[in-house]
């Protein structure tokens, strides 16, 4: 699975909202990964 990663100006890395939705569908046991 391809994950879309956004790197914010403060240097923190987060998954984009769309990628998080896909992550949640694919892995309900760990939605905050």
Domain residue spans of the chain:
1-33
What is the value of pTM for the model shown?
Answer: 0.18
Give the per-residue pLDDT at 11: 62
Q: From the CB of residue 2, how many other CB atoms can be counted at a distance below 10 Å? A: 6
- Digit-coded pLDDT (tens) for 1-33: 566 666 666 666 565 566 666 656 665 665 555
CA 10 remoteness from chain centre: 17
């Amino acid at each position: 699975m391809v994950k879309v990663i956004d790197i914010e100006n403060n240097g923190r890395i987060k998954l984009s909202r769309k990628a998080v939705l896909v992550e949640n569908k694919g892995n309900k046991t760990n939605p905050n990964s």
